[in-house]
């Protein structure tokens, strides 16, 4: 990475964001790229779906990011952003008007210069989007006063703006799709990224080749990257071992040690901004009682779950935020396994006798099987009966969304570096739009703390409010914080430079194949 | 003329069958709980955005309206548009057909290459050691799940010996043939036992027939009697068995497709079910139904051509 100058916290946006160019670490101008070499094959169990940034999910995001790039990029630690297609961003004294200077050496892969018109078009499109447009709710207007200047006005002071702009959904596309229709463009997209779209065979693969107009001199190092869809875990593993694949995305955690004991391949656990939870439905009378929620939370043996599900490759969670998310507070009093404390909490509840609850599990999920059965055994010793109901994964999610459950597993992966997306989604029942992550949890003190953190640009104030929110949520046992698992990848040992950020950005421009 | 009339009648019978299948499939698909909008929008979807997408996909309309819309498209030669990648279902099926056809044909060819010699060998002397050994094949073959066979073949011939790729379909014809060998063999190991058993039993029965006795008493060699008289007549029964199994294979190669990462129609169907992509599920099912009916029709016609006693 050559663009390593960090902005500090996203909250530092109140001051001018000085581009890394000033610091002298960013390439000053485009230079002829060295000849890329090596054809890399990455196998994954997710089938690519779309080149539309507004509709992208994890199956498509990582692939899109090799073709489209945003103004700012999430830093390798996942907690901050750094200038990317923008050189700098400055907020005015009104705290509402942002001025961005663009790099002048960026070209789309078709050779056209990237200008502020492209940025305005892309941000307007993203803001109107039905998919991820909600990330831009604070953006009131975007204007392009000159070719290398963009001005964004927000409807309120908005601390997460740079993090929002670093989202894949705010990637820069050519204005008016370069003169094509949206459909035609999205079938053969053009971007500023290190790779150019080559072909997409649905259900099979997406291939991209090196962009020789890429603005980072000498990159990418690879000639091509092919993303192959291979459902079966064993087949992906065998493809890696046989050399038919170079990187295996998300092999099972239980294979971690075995991979590292095989010559020619290795497994790496990258830190993740992701959390695994068990949600309570607070509308269920017994679960509206904080003592019952706390008792159940105390009864969950998280270490045992990590051992079974992740073969030990993971850490016990103590907060709604994962440790790799900005403003995570390590001192958050997240409830941990303690059967004595569980019994004490249960004694304080009016539901302490003959309590029967139901855990909604996902069919075929090893993780759900482990979590539910370990919890079931613990609760039995407290006199609580936990029935386990299993549903097909998609059906289970529907049941969860319609809130016809009592306890169920749920998870979150950060899309942006700022905690605002999760904190609003999970803790503000109205503005988050999902009744607090489909739990019906309401705590006005938490809502206010999140709101204050969202609208102030003072880092200390933001930390204070996010810490308060984390503490209150933990004390309320809003959900059970179970574990934080890393992202596991396996690759052949001749592959170097491969890494993913905690928010799952793939920087394939840095990867080399010997 | 009889032949054409028979074929015509059989084709007409296909229409009500396909209509019945379309009603059944459409109803069944919509009875499955789950929401395509949920798959498309992901975890952060709010009820408002979900409702909007329901409208855009047309799944907020009454089920009967949706069915007639589906039928209308069908009569105009369209299987609709995928919810997930917004492309034509017919195009998606066509794109996957090549891999599935390779797999199916490869599986059948290898099955025949394995079955015929072994069945002839076994039937050449009932009860002999060779017969006993060959009779073990069906027991072993039927007892091994295709997934396990597939993985073992990959480990041995793909990973250790490097004779074949461990998965995928390749890009050129030669690569397709090479890529398809292991999955085809995996299918053949599952299919051959049935064919061996059927062919062996038929041959043994025919060996006892009067016309075979006559042929032998004329002094014809054992090989000539086997090939010209016994095998030809025994094939008639095996054609029916093969036809039924091909029809079964059309819809059931999905496991092999998954294990070997072959982008065929079976995988398309399974992915579509997971995503609640109704147009694809409906389209592929109609296609499978049509393929099964066609295979059955062809089987009957071949049967009739081989056996003059079969009345059209």
Give the model confidence (pLDDT) of B191-211 as tens digits.
888 888 888 888 888 888 888
B203 CB-near residues (< 8 Å, 6+ apart): B119, B120, B123, B226, B230, B231, B234
Cross-chain CB nearest to A244 (options B48, B53, B165): B165
Predicted pLDDT at B259: 84
Q: Do B38 and A433 touch (CB under 8 A)?
A: no
Å from B190 to nearest chain A CA? 20
Mutation for testing the B interface, residue in A188, A204, A397, A429 having most B CBs under 10 Å: A204
Q: How far apart are the first and last CA of chain A?
A: 19
Q: How many CA atoms lie within 13 A of A178 on its CB side?
A: 20
Q: What is the ipTM of this complex?
A: 0.75
Q: How far is CA B126 from the centre of its chain?
A: 32
Would you say A103 and A121 are in contact if contact means Cβ atoms under 8 Å apart? no
Mean predicted confidence (pLDDT) in B230-258: 80
Higher-confidence residue: B303 or B102? B102
Query: Do A412 and B43 make contact, defined as CB atoms within 8 angstroms?
Result: yes
Q: How many CB atoms lie within 10 A of CB A263?
A: 7
Residues 275-304 of B with CB under 8 A from A: 276
What's the whole-number average pLDDT of chain B? 83
Q: Is B16 on the interface with A (CB under 8 A)?
A: no
Nearest of A397, A408, A289 to residue A359 by alpha carbon: A408
* Residues in chain A within 8 Å Cβ distance of B35: 394, 398
**Amino acid A34: pLDDT:** 57
Q: Which of A339, A356, A67, A97 is nearest to A213 (CA)?
A: A67
What is the radius of gyration, based on Cα positions, of chain B?
24
Of B38, B95, B167, the CB nearest to A244: B167
CA-to-CA distance for A125 and A129, rounded, in angstroms? 6
Give per-residue pLDDT as tens, B175-194. Answer: 999 999 999 988 888 888 88
Nearest chain A CA: its distance from B92 CA (Å): 8
> Using CA atoms in the order A42, A44, A46, A47, what is the torsion angle rounded to 10 degrees?
50
**Can you give the pLDDT at residue A14?**
36
Distance CA B275, CA B281 (A): 10
Q: How far is A269 from chain B (nearest CA, A)?
A: 24
B81 close contact with A: CB closer than 8 A: no
* B14-47 per-position pLDDT tens digit: 778 778 888 888 888 888 777 888 777 776 677 7
Selection from A495, A497, A352, A473 nearest residue A43 by Cα? A495
Measured from the Cβ of residue B84, the count of other Cβ atoms closer than 10 Å reads 23
Check B155 against A238: CB less than 8 A apart.
Answer: yes
Q: Does A263 contact chain B (CB < 8 Å)?
A: no
Q: Give the pLDDT confidence score for residue B145 in this predicted structure.
A: 74
Digits of tens for pLDDT over chain A (514 positions)? 333 333 334 333 433 343 333 333 344 344 445 577 899 999 999 889 899 999 888 889 999 999 999 999 999 999 999 999 999 999 999 999 999 999 999 999 999 999 999 999 999 999 998 888 889 999 999 999 999 999 999 999 999 999 999 999 999 999 999 999 999 999 999 999 999 999 998 889 999 999 999 999 999 999 999 999 998 888 899 999 999 999 999 999 989 999 999 999 999 999 999 999 999 999 999 999 999 999 999 999 999 999 999 999 999 999 999 999 999 999 999 999 999 999 999 999 999 999 999 999 998 888 899 999 999 999 999 999 999 999 888 788 888 888 999 999 999 999 999 999 999 999 999 988 889 999 999 999 999 999 999 988 889 999 999 999 999 999 999 999 999 999 999 999 999 999 999 999 999 999 999 9
pLDDT attached to residue B194: 86
Residues in B closer than 8 angstroms to A392, CB to CB, are 33-34
Report whether A274 contacts A488 (CB < 8 A).
Answer: no
Task: Tell me which chain A residue has its CA closest to the CA of residue B162.
Answer: A242
B127: left (phi over 0), alpha (psi -120 to 50) or beta: left
| Closest-CA residue of chain B to A133 | B49
Cβ count within 10 A of residue A285: 10
Of A47, A235, A394, the CB nearest to B259: A235
Structure tokens at A56: 């992208």
Residue B95 contacts residue A202 (beta carbons within 8 Å): yes
- Residue that is written with structure tokens 């290898």 in the block: B110
Q: According to the model, what pLDDT value does residue B209 have?
A: 85
Chain A residues near residue B162 by CB distance under 8 angstroms? 242
- Residue A499 half-sphere exposure toward CB, CA atoms < 13 A: 12
What Cα–Cα distance (Å) separates residue B110 from each residue in B36, B107, B114, B200?
Answer: 40, 5, 6, 18
pLDDT of residue B252: 67
């Amino acid at each position: 990475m050559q663009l390593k100058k960090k902005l500090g916290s996203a909250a530092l946006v109140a001051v001018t964001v000085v581009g890394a160019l000033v610091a002298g670490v960013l390439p000053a101008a485009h230079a002829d790229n060295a000849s890329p070499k090596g054809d890399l094959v990455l196998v994954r169990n997710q089938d690519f779906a779309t080149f539309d940034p507004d509709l992208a999910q994890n199956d498509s995001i990582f692939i899109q990011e090799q073709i489209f790039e945003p103004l700012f990029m999430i830093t390798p630690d996942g907690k901050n952003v750094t200038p990317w297609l923008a050189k700098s961003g400055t907020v005015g004294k009104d705290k509402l008007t942002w001025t961005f200077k663009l790099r002048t050496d960026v070209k789309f892969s078709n050779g056209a210069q990237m200008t502020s018109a492209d940025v305005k078009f892309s941000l307007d499109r993203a803001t109107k989007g039905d998919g991820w447009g909600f990330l831009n709710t604070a953006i009131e207007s975007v204007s392009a006063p000159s070719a290398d200047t963009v001005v964004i006005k927000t409807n309120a002071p908005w601390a997460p703006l740079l993090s929002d702009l670093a989202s894949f959904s705010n990637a820069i596309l050519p204005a008016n799709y370069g003169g094509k229709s949206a459909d035609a463009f999205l079938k053969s997209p053009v971007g500023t990224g290190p790779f150019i779209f080559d072909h997409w065979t649905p259900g099979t693969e997406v291939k991209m080749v090196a962009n020789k107009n890429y603005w980072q001199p000498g990159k990418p190092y690879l000639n091509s990257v092919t993303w192959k869809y291979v459902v079966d875990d064993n087949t992906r593993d065998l493809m890696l071992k046989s050399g038919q694949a170079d990187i295996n995305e998300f092999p099972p955690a239980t294979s971690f040690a075995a991979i590292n004991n095989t010559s020619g391949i290795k497994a790496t656990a990258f830190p993740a901004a992701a959390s695994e939870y068990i949600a309570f439905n607070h509308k269920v009378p017994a679960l509206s009682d904080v003592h019952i929620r706390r008792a159940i939370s105390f009864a969950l043996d998280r270490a045992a779950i990590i051992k079974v599900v992740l073969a030990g490759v993971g850490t016990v969670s103590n907060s709604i935020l994962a440790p790799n998310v900005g403003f995570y507070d390590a001192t958050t009093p997240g409830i941990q396994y303690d059967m004595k404390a569980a019994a004490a909490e249960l004694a304080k509840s009016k539901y302490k006798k003959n309590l029967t609850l139901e855990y909604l599990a996902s069919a075929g999920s090893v993780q759900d099987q482990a979590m539910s059965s370990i919890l079931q055994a613990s609760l039995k010793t407290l006199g609580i009966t936990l029935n386990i109901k299993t549903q097909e994964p998609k059906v289970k999610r529907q049941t969860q969304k319609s809130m016809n459950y009592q306890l169920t597993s749920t998870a979150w992966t950060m899309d942006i570096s700022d905690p605002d997306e999760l904190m609003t989604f999970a803790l503000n029942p109205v503005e988050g739009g999902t009744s607090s992550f489909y739990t019906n949890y309401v705590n006005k003190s938490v809502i206010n703390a999140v709101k204050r953190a969202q609208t102030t640009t003072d880092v200390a104030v933001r930390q204070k409010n996010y810490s308060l929110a984390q503490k209150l949520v933990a004390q309320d046992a809003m959900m059970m914080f179970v574990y934080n698992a890393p992202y596991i990848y396996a690759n052949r040992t001749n592959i170097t430079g491969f890494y993913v950020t905690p928010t799952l950005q793939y920087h394939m421009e840095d990867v080399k194949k010997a | 003329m009889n032949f054409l009339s028979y074929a015509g009648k059989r084709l007409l019978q296909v229409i009500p069958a396909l209509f019945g299948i379309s009603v059944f499939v459409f109803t069944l698909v919509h009875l499955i709980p789950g929401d395509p909008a949920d798959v498309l929008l992901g975890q952060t979807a709010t009820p408002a955005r979900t409702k909007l997408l329901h409208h855009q996909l047309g799944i907020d309309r009454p089920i009967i309206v949706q069915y007639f819309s589906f039928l209308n498209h069908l009569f105009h030669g369209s299987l609709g548009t995928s919810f997930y990648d917004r492309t034509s279902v017919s195009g998606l099926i066509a794109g996957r057909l090549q891999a599935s056809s390779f797999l199916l044909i490869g599986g059948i060819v290898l099955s025949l290459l394995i079955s015929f010699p072994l069945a002839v060998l076994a039937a050449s002397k009932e009860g002999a050691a060779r017969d006993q050994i060959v009779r073990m094949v069906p027991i072993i073959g039927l007892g091994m799940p295709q997934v396990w066979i597939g993985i073992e073949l990959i480990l041995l011939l793909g990973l250790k010996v490097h004779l074949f790729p461990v998965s995928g379909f390749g890009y050129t014809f030669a690569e397709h043939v090479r890529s398809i060998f292991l999955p085809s063999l995996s299918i053949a190991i599952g299919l051959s036992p049935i064919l061996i058993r059927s062919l062996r039993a038929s041959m043994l029965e025919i060996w006892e027939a009067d016309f075979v006795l006559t042929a032998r008493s004329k002094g014809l060699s054992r090989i000539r009697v086997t090939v010209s008289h016994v095998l030809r007549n025994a094939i008639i029964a095996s054609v029916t068995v093969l036809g039924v199994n091909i029809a079964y294979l059309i819809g059931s190669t999905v496991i092999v497709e998954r294990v070997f990462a072959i982008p065929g129609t079976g995988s398309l169907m399974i992915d579509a079910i997971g995503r609640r992509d109704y147009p694809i599920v409906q389209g592929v099912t109609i296609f499978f139904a049509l393929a099964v009916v066609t295979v059955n029709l062809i089987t009957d016609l071949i049967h009739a051509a081989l056996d003059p006693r079969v009345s059209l």
